[in-house]
Amino acid sequence: MSQLRNVKILGTGKFLPKKKVTSYELDHLLGLNNGWVEQKSGVSLRSFVENETASEMAALASIDAINASNLHKEDIDCIVSVSGTMEQPIPCNASLVQKQLGLNNSKIPCFDINSTCLSFVTGFDTISYLVHSGRYKNVLLVSSEIASVGLNWKNKENAILFGDGAAAAVISKTPDTENSKILAGHMETFSDGAHFTEIRGGGTKLHPNHPTANETDFLFDMNGKSVFKLSSKNIVSYMEKLLSLSNCTINDIDLVVPHQASGMAMRILRNKLGIDEAKFMNIIHNHGNTIASSIPMALHEAIVQNKIQRGNKVMLIGTSAGLSIGGVVFEY
């Protein structure tokens, strides 16, 4: 059955916090040889928040996306937060974004979709059905992530990968005279890997007030080797499925916009799938892994840098905690 949806990305936006942290600074802080952090992570520069909140960053990226869409913020009729982290456990992120945007009297519906690093992809894929059907006219999808507060610097191989930041996109129904469309979306979850990537504490299982919970429980933990093994085992058949649903071959894709997981993970993905370097969007060196913001931020950079034009076929693809593999193929 065809999955075609006549949905267009009107505009995208991004925001990075002011404070920049070089990999040389991290080498020094962690007592490592100059160059170790950059070589291990593929990241030379990342941004970390000082006082910025996730909803403030989300609002700034959103305004950027709304401007790029030639819309006013009042034209938005649904706000979906597509982040892997939350600003606070209650209420949902999207309500806080509505407030930051000064849309508190707008009645615009607000809710969150979360599949960790794939949240933007899942949100785009899911909400496109509502846009295609006419339920909403202009949906704001916004990812805003503060990784830096949850990193475990004793686990340096993981901690050095991440950066903070926000990215947003406005999606709308494609006008009859244009061709923008989603060709297909597909997601596979392998919960054998549910505990390979996690923050164990802070939810209802190990509540912050639980007597045995300690600082480390609230920090990000990843078994990189297990993630690599499980995703490698499944990525090729996943890709065949996504391309087949899209009625495309990999050669039809003008640009692949992968999750900016780590320099190494991206290199392996690219080689495994046989994608030319020129057709593989890479912004990790000056952004780091910004969790769910990573894919829309790379997409935004691709648009701003003229790496994609209307009519081009674009693939968003990545892995996330869960462990999930997800992607969308669309004609921009």
DSSP string, 232-291: HHHHHHHHHHHHHHHT--GGG-SEEEE----HHHHHHHHHHHT--GGGB---GGGT-B-G
113 lies in the site for a second copy, by CB under 8 A: yes
233 lies in the site for a second copy, by CB under 8 A: no
41 lies in the site for a second copy, by CB under 8 A: no
Question: Which of 6, 155, 189, 223 is in the footprint of a second copy by CB under 8 A?
Answer: 189
Q: Which stretch binds a second copy (CB under 8 A): 22-30, 40-48, 129-137, 269-277?
A: 129-137
Give, as ranges, the residues between 191 and 220 that touch a second copy (CB under 8 A): 191-192, 194, 197-210, 213, 215, 218-220
CB 11 to a second copy: min, Å = 22
Closer by beta carbon to a second copy, 28 or else 195: 195
Site size toward a second copy (CB under 8 A) is 80
Question: Which of 34, 39, 70, 88 is in the footprint of a second copy by CB under 8 A?
Answer: 88
Question: Which of 326, 327, 328, 329 is in the footprint of a second copy by CB under 8 A?
Answer: 326
Give the pairing of strands 255-258 and 313-320.
Answer: parallel
- The mark string for 45-74 relative to a second copy (x by CB under 8 A, - otherwise) is --------xx--------------------
Question: Which of 28, 29, 39, 149 is in the footprint of a second copy by CB under 8 A?
Answer: 149
The rounded distance, in Å, linking the Cα atoms of 27 and 196 is 26
Sequence length of the chain is 332
Residue whose C-alpha is closest to residue 290's, from 144, 163, 119, 142: 163
Rg (CA), the chain: 19
98 lies in the site for a second copy, by CB under 8 A: yes
The rounded distance, in Å, linking the Cα atoms of 243 and 252 is 10
Question: Which of 14, 281, 324, 327 is in the footprint of a second copy by CB under 8 A?
Answer: 324
Q: Which amino acid is at 184?
A: A
The rounded distance, in Å, linking the Cα atoms of 81 and 250 is 30
